[in-house]
Structure 1
Amino acid sequence: MNARIAWAGLPAEVRAGVGAILGEPVVEAATQPGGYSPGSADRLRLTSGRRVFVKAVSGEVNATSAALHRREAAVTAALPPGLPVPRLLGAYDDGTWVALVLTDVDGRHPHLPWTGPELELVLDALAEIAVRTVPEGLELPRSGDSLRGAFMGWEKLRRRPLDGLDPWAAGNLDVLVELAGHGTQSMAGEALVHGDLRADNVLLAGGSAVLVDWPYASRGAAWLDSLSILIDVNTDSPRGRAEAVLGTRRVFFGVAPRAVTGVLAGWAGYFMDMSRRPDPPGIPTLRVFQRRQADALLGWLRLRLTPVT
């Protein structure tokens, strides 16, 4: 995780722009930990006692993060009522700094490693979202189209080998390339997909799970977000735990095993390829996290593929 910019450390014009959205002064700010953005993340208390959440980032520090904030503002504003997501109250954008003002969630991230009750709570919430189609008027990309390039990681690793790559992966590159391609094709569907779910994008509050950070929203298969959570579980849990949970969740019933394996292979290749790149501006811990995810996914893939390889 990265060190956050505090509310008081934001430029005066950004705080003034947010203040214009709020309509009243800020009397207290609490910086929130976690995440992989180089920007701020603060719960604010206002003079009326009302609380809001504000996140801000500078395009000069990381242009991609600023673009993601703009995308998140557009998506969140268009999400229908009744979903377990924060509501967008307004956005500030001066061309360099982008700040989002959202309803506050008085909650916490799930514990890591994931506990059984918290995992069930989140997967139950995702099961409810899985039956929702993308609302009319909300233009979202297809999940497979969004991830087609990302899921070419094994092809890139085959062309430019990585020193120290797991011997099992190195000996099965052709299989992994084929599986990742199949994974892209297996994402088709009409469900609303968050697209970037892990513990730091979930808040537990009052016995409910709230999903935050929606810039990667897409239209795809109803089981994709549940699989993303299980990938997060797999990163910090004993091998085989995520696989065992997968077999108990209704959203996966009827899904071809090869489809799930293909998506896992696609993410593994993406994380492995990205982990060897230089740190992105302002996010010095991301590559280490991506390598941990890649290594853990390789263990899961080996578990699923051992009978046939």
Structure 2
Amino acid sequence: MITASGVRIGWAGLPRDVQYAVESILGGTVVEAVSQAGGFSPGTADRVRIADGRRAFVKAVSTAQNAHSPNMHRREARITAAMPSWAPVPELLGCHDDGTWVALVLQDIDGRQPSTPWLADELRLVLDVLDEFATRATPSPLPGLATAADTLAEEFGGWRRIANDPPDNLRPWAARHLDELCALADRGLAALAGDTLVHADLRADNLLLSADGAVTVVDWPAACRGPRWLDSLLLLLNVRLHGGHDTHQLLTEQAAAHDAPLDDLLAVLVALAGFFTDSARRPPPPGLPTLRAFQRAHADAILSWLREEDSL
């Protein structure tokens, strides 16, 4: 299984002035830093401990690692700082931004990522938390966010780009159904209407489970306003990717739970398959060598799912 991973630097690889800035936010000297796996940022992702025993999570990146990553950190800092107190989100303790390096200092959550393949009890726990969050986050407590339709409009045009320039390795099933896939992707974009605050990048490595049963959702730069079922649907894609569950039953349950047309959820999956198929044929961006293989795995997972659903 291809996992989400960038080429990490660690705490020791940060410029000393960035380290000083983080320590100023923390109010103490960092004496231990443990790099964390998962995620696609090519910067740091360290659980740190300062001399008096207090802990934090630090993520930092510069344009030298990836040209787009600093802006994503800036956006994540703004969104996290604006979150309501009831949201299952780490507290932003501070942010350093010198124009080149951006460092976020966040509450360190005592938890672990869900097991993959997903365990049934952990999946149910997370789906329940997402449902509760969607209820409280409608209307969005961050009303200035872009809509999911505006945010994902380009990505959801993947099948049309493929139709205009088909790759040699396009899956035969997709090649036979290109016209229908393009039409369904358009429906998927229209289905993104809604005013729920959504994470829009939900997968196992963006979740932490604590021993007391608490669920924390991390990494919010993609947050936007969309349908209340979007994060649950993205989670089911992660479940499908790792295998071991009846995703048809789960999808049907989520459509019914959110009183949403099943065909709308399937249309969004079609559009996502187009995005992943189109993106996977591009060269990998700097610092993210596994991204394209990760996207190809997602495309294959969705296409096999759609064939089973007989949605075309």
Do the aligned residues in 2 keep the contact of 1:69 with 1:215 (CA within 8 Å)?
A: yes
- Report if the CA contact (8 A) 2:194-2:226 is conserved: yes
Q: Aligned AA for 1:64?
A: H
Q: In the aligned structure 2, how far is the partner of 1:108 from the partner of 1:49?
A: 20
Give yes or no for contact 1:152–1:270 (8 Å, CA) kept in 2.
Answer: yes
**In structure 2, what residue type is equivalent to 1:212?**
V
Q: In the alignment, which residue of structure 2 is the partner of 1:218?
A: 224
Tell me, in whole angstroms, the C-alpha distance in 2 between the residues paired with 1:32 and 1:214: 17
Question: Paired residue for 1:183, among 158, 181, 188?
Answer: 188
In terms of mean alpha carbon deviation, does 268-277 or 200-209 score higher?
200-209
Mark the CA change 1:54 to 1:134 in structure 2 (over 3 Å): closer, same or farther.
farther
Return the TM-score normalized by structure 1. Answer: 0.95
- Conserved 8 A contact 1:80-1:135: no
After TM superposition, give the deviation of residue 251 of structure 1 in Å.
6.4
Segments of structure 2 that go 5 or more residues without pairing to the other structure are none
Alpha-carbon displacement from aligned partner over 1:92-133 (angstroms, at most 9, x marks no partner): 111111100000011111111111111111111101111022
* 2:261 pairs with 1:263: no
- 1:72 corresponds to which residue? 76
Counterpart amino acid of residue 128 in structure 1? E
1:153 match: 158
Contact preservation (8 Å) 1:192, 1:220: yes
The amino acid that maps onto 1:305 is: D
| Alpha-carbon separation, structure 2, partners of 1:90 and 1:249 | 37
User: Which residue number in structure 1 is paired with residue 86 of structure 2?
Assistant: 82
Find 1:10's aligned residue among 3, 11, 14: 14
Q: Taking structure 1 as reference, are residues 136 and 35 closer, same or farther at Cα in structure 2, changes over 3 Å only?
A: closer
Please name the residue that 1:112 is paired with: 116
SS at match of 2:310: helix
Of residues 13-22 and 283-292 in structure 1, the stretch that sits farther from structure 2 once superposed is: 13-22
Give the partner amino acid of 2:110.
Answer: D
**Residue in 1 aligned with 2:239?**
233
Amino acid of the residue matched to residue 182 of structure 1?
A: R
Question: Which residue identity is paired with 1:224?
Answer: L
Moved more, 278-287 or 200-209: 200-209
> What corresponds to 1:24 in structure 2?
28
Match of 1:35 among 39, 42, 56: 39
Give the SS at the match of 1:43: strand
Retained in 2: the 8 A contact 1:75–1:138? no
Deviation of 1:26 after TM superposition, in Å, equals: 1.0
Q: State the match for 1:94 in structure 2.
A: 98
Q: Aligned partners of 2:141 and 2:198: how far apart in 1?
A: 15
Residue identity matched to 1:284? P
The answer to whether the Cα contact below 8 Å between 2:255 and 2:265 also exists between their aligned partners in 1 is no
Q: Is the 8 A contact 2:140 2:225 kept in 1?
A: no
Kindly indicate whether the alpha-carbon contact (under 8 Å) linking 2:84 and 2:141 is maintained by their aligned counterparts in 1: no
**How many residues matched?**
306
Q: Distance in 2 between matches of 1:44 and 1:35?
A: 18
Contact 2:252 2:262 survives alignment (8 Å)? no
Q: Over aligned residues, Cα RMSD in angstroms?
A: 1.4
What is the aligned partner in structure 1 of residue 205 from structure 2? 200
Q: CA deviation at 1:4?
A: 1.9
With the length of structure 2 as denominator, give the TM-score of the two structures.
0.95
**Distance (whole Å) between structure 1 residues aligned to residue 259 and residue 139 of structure 2:** 22
- 2:142 paired with 1:142: no
How has the CA–CA distance of structure 1 residues 253 and 134 changed in structure 2, closer, same or farther, with 3 Å as cutoff? closer
CA contact (8 A) 1:92 1:99 kept: yes
Alpha-carbon distance between aligned partners in 2 of 1:184 and 1:38, rounded to the nearest angstrom = 30
The answer as to whether partners of 2:141 and 2:197 remain within 8 angstroms in 1 is no
Match of 2:65 in 1: 61
Distance 2:302 2:108 in 1: 34
Mapped to 1, the partners of 2:141 and 2:306 lie a distance apart of 37
Secondary structure (helix, strand or coil) at the match of 1:15 reads: helix
Shift of 1:185: 0.6
Q: CA deviation at 1:186?
A: 0.5
Q: Over residues 251-309 of structure 1, what are the superposed CA-to-partner deviations in whole Å (9 max), with x where a residue is unaligned?
A: 64421122111100111000000001000110101100000000110011112235xx4
Residue aligning to 1:248: 253
Sequence identity percentage: 50
